[in-house]
Chains A and B, each alone.
Chain A
Amino acid sequence: DQQVKQNSPSLSVQEGRISILNCDYTNSMFDYFLWYKKYPAEGPTFLISISSIKDKNEDGRFTVFLNKSAKHLSLHIVPSQPGDSAVYFCAASAGSNYQLIWGAGTKLIIKP
């Protein structure tokens, strides 16, 4: 039973356009969501997060949107750059780092 789902294993986007990565969750107790980025042969690095009391958080080219009623969050990258090519993981928590639940990841490919 996957509580956090990233339904797109991969996504291909033209450089300069918007990349939208999606994540769905089933547990209504989740109150904090994070996105991590992972390059091959490296560990994941933290990208951006959002608390359930917000519906949007922005950091430079990265914006995360949270729709609690739909139990859906999305990561928008604008404009997409070649260095954004990586695997993106969505993670959710019910209040503790000991309880992070991770999605399977989406591989983003930015085409020149």
Chain B
Amino acid sequence: DVKVTQSSRYLVKRTGEKVFLECVQDMDHENMFWYRQDPGLGLRLIYFSYDVKMKEKGDIPEGYSVSREKKERFSLILESASTNQTSMYLCASSPSSVVGELFFGEGSRLTVL
């Protein structure tokens, strides 16, 4: 059974704190993605990675960075959390860049106070 696991389901942080969101996949997929989901806006791509140590900006990268040191792990970092980063964060992976199914984790709901 394929699995994308996000380390924290719910987090509450204070403005200015550094936040790490971890994602691990066990499917040996090349591609990994970080999205955020907000009501009325659907899913918006923050960053993606098509290989170890490779990363590309998505549609809304401002205020975020990522790290992919190992194939199975893709981390999202908020260097200095702000209240407008309160959201649901979704990690996904896929075996190919050719469009097709993405496999999502269960999500991490982040609240920044």
A residues neighboring B (CB under 8 Å): 4, 6, 9, 32, 34, 41-46, 49, 89, 91, 93, 95-100, 102-105
Q: Give the interface segment out of B11-19, B42-50, B69-77, B79-87.
A: B42-50
Name the B residues within 8 Å of A46 (CB-CB). Answer: 101-103
Which residues 73-113 of B have a CB within 8 angstroms of A?
A: 90, 92, 94, 96-107
Known: A97-B31, A102-B42. 17 other contacts (CB 8 A): A42-B107, A43-B4, A43-B92, A44-B90, A89-B43, A95-B99, A96-B98, A97-B96, A97-B99, A98-B31, A98-B50, A99-B99, A102-B43, A103-B42, A104-B40, A104-B42, A105-B42
Q: A97's contact among B9, B40, B100, by CB below 8 Å, is which?
A: B100
Name the B residues within 8 Å of A102 (CB-CB). Answer: 42-44
Name the B residues within 8 Å of A96 (CB-CB). Answer: 97-99
CA of A4 to CA of B42, assembled, Å: 10
Known A-B contacts A32-B99, A43-B4; the reply to A89 vs B107 at CB < 8 A is no
Instruction: Judge whether A43 and B105 touch: CB under 8 Å.
Output: yes
B residues neighboring A (CB under 8 Å): 4, 9, 31, 33, 40-45, 48, 50, 56, 90, 92, 94, 96-107
What would be 16 A-B contacts, judged by CB atoms less than 8 Å apart?
A6-B42, A41-B106, A42-B106, A42-B107, A43-B4, A43-B105, A43-B106, A91-B43, A93-B99, A96-B99, A97-B31, A97-B33, A97-B97, A97-B100, A99-B99, A102-B44
Most chain B CB within 10 A, of A4, A6, A44, A89, is at A44
CA of A107 to CA of B39, assembled, Å: 11
Instruction: Judge whether B104 and A100 touch: CB under 8 Å.
Output: no
Closest B residue, CB atoms, query A46: B101
Instruction: Judge whether B94 and A45 touch: CB under 8 Å.
Output: no
Most chain B CB within 10 A, of A9, A45, A102, is at A102
Most chain B CB within 10 A, of A34, A41, A98, is at A98
CA of A97 to CA of B9, assembled, Å: 25
Name the A residues within 8 Å of B98 (CB-CB). Answer: 95-97
Name the B residues within 8 Å of A32 (CB-CB). Answer: 99
